[in-house]
């Protein structure tokens, strides 16, 4: 399948002790870039049994309506910040396709699809939901951080990922993406037959140390299963 865009540029961090046999593709939030979550890798303190390559792609710069049309790294345009989140669905789907290209590239590099985790924070999480759930080969897991399901009407799990392990993380004091949007995503996934697990923290629109520990646990569980 050919797309009009090349593979997304990304920060890549190889495992230190041996060649990668797993991959974690992690999408940043609005206005950030692939370097945003780079410092989290050593903080995870993953066991030596896990040799995962971390891939942190950079979103393209596009005008964002809710920020006065300013150009910034974004996976899709947000047209209104009401609770329903009016988003540019075509741009979101294109970002999901480009995420799928990254997954396919890891498979081409020799990584089994069942050892690939997709993660996303905020806007990146909305893309991660669609890319991972609709992917046609089984994945290891999906982590949704401080995010929401922007495309519930068109995001349907593929046969391969109907039982995909999904972990949702959210801050109870998140002023950007209210926790109820994260809770709604969990309900929507359950209606699709998935069994997402949920964890909230007393934090805003961010990541905290207890959450980093929980993320490390989920990665270990998915890749050591």
45: left (phi over 0), alpha (psi -120 to 50) or beta: left
Residue 122 is among the residues annotated as catalytic for this protein: yes
Residue 28 is among the residues annotated as catalytic for this protein: no
Phi then psi for 208, rounded to 5 degrees? -125, 165
Q: Assign 3-class secondary structure to 90-113.
A: HHHHHHHHHHHHHHHHHHHCCCCH
Task: Give the number of C-alpha atoms closer than 13 A to the C-alpha of residue 91, restricted to the C-beta side.
Answer: 18
Distance in angstroms (rounded) separating the CA atoms of residues 144 and 166? 8
Catalytic residue among 122, 130, 146, 170: 122
Residue 112 is among the residues annotated as catalytic for this protein: no
Distance in angstroms (rounded) separating the CA atoms of residues 34 and 26? 8
Catalytic residue among 101, 112, 205, 214: 205
Catalytic residue among 36, 77, 88, 174: 174
Distance in angstroms (rounded) separating the CA atoms of residues 149 and 147? 7
Q: 168 forms bridges with which residues in the sheet? A: 144, 198
Residue 63 · residue 77 · CB < 8 Å: yes
Supply the Cα-derived Rg of the chain in whole angstroms.
Answer: 16
Active site residues: 122, 174, 205
């Amino acid at each position: 399948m050919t797309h009009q865009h090349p593979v997304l540029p990304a920060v890549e961090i190889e495992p230190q002790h041996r060649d990668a046999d797993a991959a974690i593709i992690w999408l940043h939030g609005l206005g950030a870039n692939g370097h945003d979550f780079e410092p989290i890798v050593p903080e995870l303190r993953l066991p030596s049994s896990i040799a995962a390559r971390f891939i942190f792609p950079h979103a393209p710069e596009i005008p964002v309506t809710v920020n006065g049309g300013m150009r910034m790294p974004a996976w899709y345009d947000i047209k209104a910040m009401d609770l329903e989140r009016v988003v540019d669905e075509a741009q979101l789907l294109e970002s999901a396709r480009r995420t799928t290209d990254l997954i396919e590239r890891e498979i081409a590099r020799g990584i089994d699809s069942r050892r690939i985790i997709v993660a996303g924070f905020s806007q990146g999480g909305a893309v991660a939901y669609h890319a991972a759930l609709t992917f046609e080969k089984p994945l290891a897991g999906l982590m949704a951080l401080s995010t929401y399901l922007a495309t519930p009407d068109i995001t349907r799990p593929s046969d391969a990922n109907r039982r995909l392990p999904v972990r949702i993380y959210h801050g109870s004091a998140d002023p950007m993406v209210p926790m109820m949007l994260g809770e709604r995503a969990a309900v929507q996934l359950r209606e699709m037959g998935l069994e997402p697990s949920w964890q909230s923290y007393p934090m805003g629109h961010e990541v905290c140390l207890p959450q980093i520990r929980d993320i490390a646990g989920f990665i270990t569980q998915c890749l050591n299963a």
